[in-house]
Structure 1
Amino acid sequence: MTQRDLFAQAALDQIPKILTLLDRNPHSPTYGCFDRNFWQYKIIDFPSGMSQEFVWPLALVYSLPLPNNLYYQQPTIRDWVLAGILYAARSAHADGSCDDYFPFERAGGAAAFSLLACVESYELLGLDSPAALDFFRTRANWLAHHHESGRLTNHQALIVLCLIRVSQLLGSEDWQDEIAQRLDRVFAWQNPEGWFQEYEGCDPGYHTLTLSCLARVYDLQPSERLRDAIAKGVTLAAYFVHPDGSYGGEYTSRNTYNFFPHGFELVGRWLPEALSVNDRFLEGLARGLGACYADDHIVGHHTWNYLLAWQAFVLERPPTKQPAPGRVWLQEARVLIEQRQDTKLYLALNKGGAFKFFRGDRLVLSDTQFSLLVRQGGALKNAVGHLVGPYQIEVGPDEIVLRGSLGWAKQKQMTTLNLIILRAVMYTVGRFFPNLIRKLLQKVLITGKKPAPFDFTRQFRWRDGTWQVTDELRAETWENLVSAGIAADQTSIYVVMSRTFQAGQLQPWLDLTAAVQQLSPGQPLRLERTL
């Protein structure tokens, strides 16, 4: 299989699942709905608007002569795409917005992803539907004036692309000011180190989605400022392709393994080093090291992006450019990447020293810091060392030291009572203030760190051709501890695209419970490892 066809095959593998999620019955009141939990299982009371994004992968497999593509030019696929677009219109609120996780949420991300998918599919298949065009205008108007809580640059770039594409399709100039303002916000949220802000910092995975959108915007409305921003972003992304071809992970701000390749193919036409980013990722994809995103809610994003990458694939490619050895110290992102001899260390200094360590092209160890299960007031709570926080950091030539406290993991679950309360709030006052509800939920589930009564020191020393890691964990008492250990893939905030499976997560849990239970009150736990 060629490099290019790896993208096609990975996407085609998801099409049967996407079709299973679709209500394909023309006589059904939910014909065209991709939220199977709603139309088939009937276990939720509203459809997720994000699900209608799945029309785009179907439109692409209908249109592209991919190898082994049994969906190519199948009339039924075309009918189902139109049904999906019209269901997106029927299920939207009167103002064009849609919900994703709770009623009257009016989710900006879901509205933008699904609008872009519907517009691209409509044009790609040459569809003709006045109802769809009216819907596109209404949703674009809502997106142009909606401002969500939290700094998610990928959403801003996505909305810019949506407004440009709807403007082109409708021959309208209604949103030129909003396009310029959103693009200015993207520029403002790009750090001088090249990364785009995602909540509390740098997430290389969502970064590639932002680049994918901006690459399309550049093709449609080129500017020198946008070109420079994209070039900085490509340089940043190149740092995070691991020696084995995997990408991202738990040491990043949003814990994702996301990789969206389409933008690198577009940018590679004028910046050849962008193609090396994709080539290195394709090596990992060929080895089965891509993450799995085949769940009901997020299967669409990578599927359409991989198909677009296949379509835009640059056939004449320069030799793959490998990163130079040495240290990359992203001081504002608080991420350090160090390549010495045949080893490479990816270290999150803003997440307590969570890291991935490679020797040659093999992952040796993934570490997401201490995790303690503690009995507190009759309940079990989880104290972890990998939450984003203001840790004390010392970075020297051959020694790196971090100090700080563990934090309480965000493990809030939805209960029957919580669901009833949320529904009651949203059907009364919440429907008028959805952004306030979103902001409150972000504080509960995503942002911020509440310290736990456990202090740690993590020290990295370069000795004899490898890194030696010394951990020390301190507490006034260990009597309430139930379990202790270190995992390869533990995360403790809510992020839609995190906690996906990736082969590196097969590393076993390091159980430290017995060692901690032997400690006297006030005696520290000490752990020494040579990587």
Structure 2
Amino acid sequence: MTRPTKDVYVQESLPLVASMLQLLDRDPLSETAGCFDRQYWHYRTMDFPCGMSQEFVLPLALAWKHPFPDNPHHQQDRVREWTLSGIDFARRAAHKDGSCDDYYPFERALGAAVYSLHGMAEAYRIVDGDDPNLVAFLAQRARWVMAHGESGVLANHHAIAAAALQSTALVTGDDTFATAARAKARETLSHQHDEGWFREYDGFDPGYQTVTVDFLARYWRASGDDDVLEGLERAVELLEAAQHPDGTFGGEYAARSAYHAQPHGLELLAPRFPAAARVSDRLLGALTAGRRARNDDDRLQGHHVYSYLMAWVDFAPRDDAPTRLQPDPARTHLGACGVLIDRRREAFLIAGLAKGGPFRIYRGTDLVANDSGVAIVTEDDRVLVSHIGHDAEVTDDGAVVSTTQRFAYATRERMTPVKLIVLRAVMITVGRWFRTLVRKLLQRRLITRKVGAPFTLTRTIERTDTGFRVTDSIKRGPGAPRAKHLRLGIGQTSTYVAVSQPWDPAWLLPWTDLDDRVNELNDGGVVEIVRDW
């Protein structure tokens, strides 16, 4: 295998720095100078600025500092000026306690706070800022992060908080933040299962695992806290097992349907852990081949851009030995989170058993199956899906694995003028004092809610001589509505996850139309589908 050059990191990310500059209010005389939320300052369709967007100062600072190939922003005075302006806008737009909002006013979102704090503290260090007001603001936001949590377990947020607090300690010289960073790192590790995965709500998400590794490794490098290395090594070894043969990560089988693939932490760990170098090399191969999922919209593009740029800066020297194309064949059933990884010499399968069995199958490096589950459209046009929740019943005898999941009604709730007015009214009045309660209610409605339907899917996965056989048994229960359409979906998600639904070449595979089996389901109550790869 010819090892790809590290310049691929820059080729994939540097063009998006220009996109961020377009999003930025660059007018120094504007009241919103430094704001990266173009919907707020330019189109004026939003009534508050998104605090998450201010993390974009970090890609700007990196582009100003480093001589990346074909970098027009290197050492440009105005780029440094805009970086500091972005931090200052965050200061001016923050609540009095230093927090910020993400999706609605007075949200005081921890995710937006830790992402932006990390980006701003690192950017301030990179451009060698010298503004006591900005230092005081970063300290204030850090204190807010120290004092607040969030509902649900998102291990990546704790890792980001650890890195952000450690960066703030370096900016301010205050060891209080370093102590808090160490505590956050321990909290992150407390959410790592013995199987190696970090918890994201209800399970393992390989894409988000790259995020947690990314930020926890940055914390380690900045703090010298070697106590996190054992957990990082186990996390990286699991990432190698879960990495697709084409070098990518993630999909609808994952706990949060994420497609993240952040390489900076892997580069930091590569000198210590050979698996990190191998995973990174395969990811570089995916980038070279144009296989990365595109999550480049105005809100999310910053996450991977600064990780790519920092991976170029901290690229770990490799020896001359070529990277193994694939890990050794192995079958791994992560029973605690319900994920099956079956790597054979001829084929590879990864499935989210706890979600009812969404899966991907590869032949060599070619994706041949990308299944997000079964979808039924009833005669009254309601959509039922098999992939909601993480509560499927799973059995595994070591050769054949079976997962049984009850269908649920797809929940794709949209905002309406009335709902928007109600949410704003609640948050402007009493909701601002109950941020955690409001978040829990929204999570329950948009993310974790499952309204069951009287259909079940039993999906069986077994090896064949050279590949895999998947057998689906769809059963219609007593009192169930009649079906009008029956489909096998690709790329389908039915609950809200911000980072899901990027563009991914895997979605070029077609859905499977099974309408010719609908009468069999309605009249006989059972349909069985057998597929071989």
Residues 177-223 of structure 1, C-alpha deviation per residue, up to 9 Å, x if partnerless? 53343222112111001111111111111111111111112122234
The gaps in structure 2 that reach 5 residues or longer are: none
Deviates most, 103-112 or 158-167: 158-167
Q: Which residue of the partner structure matches residue 356 of structure 1?
A: 360
- Are 1:369 and 2:369 matched, yes or no? no
Residue identity in the other structure for 1:161: A
Deviates most, 128-137 or 37-46: 128-137
How far did residue 479 of structure 1 move?
A: 5.6
Change (3 A) 1:179 1:466: closer
CA distance in 2, matches of 1:434, 1:76: 38
Deviates most, 74-83 or 400-409: 400-409
| Aligned residue runs from structure 1 range 74-473, under 5 A | 74-317=76-319, 318-321=321-324, 322-376=326-380, 380-473=381-474
TM-score (norm: length of structure 1) = 0.96
CA distance in 2, matches of 1:26, 1:373: 54
CA distance in 1, matches of 2:517, 2:276: 48
Alpha-carbon contact 1:98-1:111 (below 8 Å) kept: yes
How far did residue 403 of structure 1 move?
A: 1.8
Residues 271-330 of structure 1, C-alpha deviation per residue, up to 9 Å, x if partnerless? 222110100111111111101011010010100010000000013345324311021111
CA distance in 2, matches of 1:343, 1:334: 20
Is the partner of 1:233 in helix, strand or coil? helix
- Are 1:4 and 2:2 matched, yes or no? no
- Are 1:525 and 2:527 matched, yes or no? yes
Is the partner of 1:149 in helix, strand or coil? coil
Alpha-carbon contact 2:61-2:127 (below 8 Å) kept: yes
How far did residue 22 of structure 1 move?
A: 0.7
Is the partner of 1:243 in helix, strand or coil? coil
Change (3 A) 1:301 1:397: same
How far did residue 68 of structure 1 move?
A: 0.9
CA distance in 1, matches of 2:4, 2:65: 20
How far did residue 410 of structure 1 move?
A: 2.2
Residue identity in the other structure for 1:324: D
CA distance in 2, matches of 1:76, 1:179: 32
Is the partner of 1:82 in helix, strand or coil? helix
Residue identity in the other structure for 2:366: R
Alpha-carbon contact 1:200-1:447 (below 8 Å) kept: no
How far did residue 67 of structure 1 move?
A: 0.8
Alpha-carbon contact 2:351-2:360 (below 8 Å) kept: yes
Residue identity in the other structure for 1:54: F
Residues 320-367 of structure 1, C-alpha deviation per residue, up to 9 Å, x if partnerless? 243110211111121111123301111111111110001111100011
Alpha-carbon contact 1:54-1:300 (below 8 Å) kept: yes
Q: Which residue of the partner structure matches residue 42 of structure 1?
A: 44
Alpha-carbon contact 2:354-2:403 (below 8 Å) kept: no
Is the partner of 2:355 in helix, strand or coil? coil
Residues 3-61 of structure 1, C-alpha deviation per residue, up to 9 Å, x if partnerless? 20000111112122111111111221111100011011111100000011111111111
Alpha-carbon contact 1:371-1:484 (below 8 Å) kept: yes
Residues 489-518 of structure 1, C-alpha deviation per residue, up to 9 Å, x if partnerless? 111221111111111111111112232145
Residue identity in the other structure for 1:393: V
CA distance in 1, matches of 2:226, 2:119: 27
Alpha-carbon contact 1:327-1:338 (below 8 Å) kept: yes
CA distance in 2, matches of 1:429, 1:77: 41
Change (3 A) 1:182 1:167: same
| Equivalent residue in structure 1 for 2:59, among 37, 57, 60 | 57
CA distance in 1, matches of 2:85, 2:226: 40
Alpha-carbon contact 1:328-1:337 (below 8 Å) kept: yes
Alpha-carbon contact 1:474-1:522 (below 8 Å) kept: no
Residue identity in the other structure for 1:356: R
| Aligned residue runs from structure 1 range 502-517, under 5 A | 502-517=504-519
CA distance in 1, matches of 2:473, 2:399: 19
Percent identity between matched residues is 39
Residue identity in the other structure for 1:326: A
Alpha carbon RMSD of aligned pairs, Å? Answer: 1.7
Deviates most, 108-117 or 518-527: 518-527
CA distance in 2, matches of 1:341, 1:163: 44
CA distance in 2, matches of 1:227, 1:479: 53
Alpha-carbon contact 2:346-2:364 (below 8 Å) kept: yes
CA distance in 1, matches of 2:525, 2:313: 60
Alpha-carbon contact 1:478-1:516 (below 8 Å) kept: no
Change (3 A) 1:397 1:171: closer
The gaps in structure 1 that reach 5 residues or longer are: none
Change (3 A) 1:397 1:149: closer
Alpha-carbon contact 2:354-2:393 (below 8 Å) kept: no
Change (3 A) 1:122 1:389: closer
Is the partner of 1:446 in helix, strand or coil? helix
Change (3 A) 1:166 1:341: closer
Deviates most, 166-175 or 90-99: 166-175
Number of residue equivalences = 528
Residues 143-178 of structure 1, C-alpha deviation per residue, up to 9 Å, x if partnerless? 110111110111111111111111121111233553
Is the partner of 1:483 in helix, strand or coil? strand
CA distance in 1, matches of 2:519, 2:416: 33
TM-score (norm: length of structure 2) = 0.96
Residue identity in the other structure for 1:474: K
Residue identity in the other structure for 2:156: N
Change (3 A) 1:93 1:520: closer
How far did residue 2 of structure 1 move?
A: 4.9
Alpha-carbon contact 1:63-1:73 (below 8 Å) kept: yes
- Are 1:27 and 2:29 matched, yes or no? yes
CA distance in 2, matches of 1:241, 1:77: 36
CA distance in 2, matches of 1:17, 1:520: 51
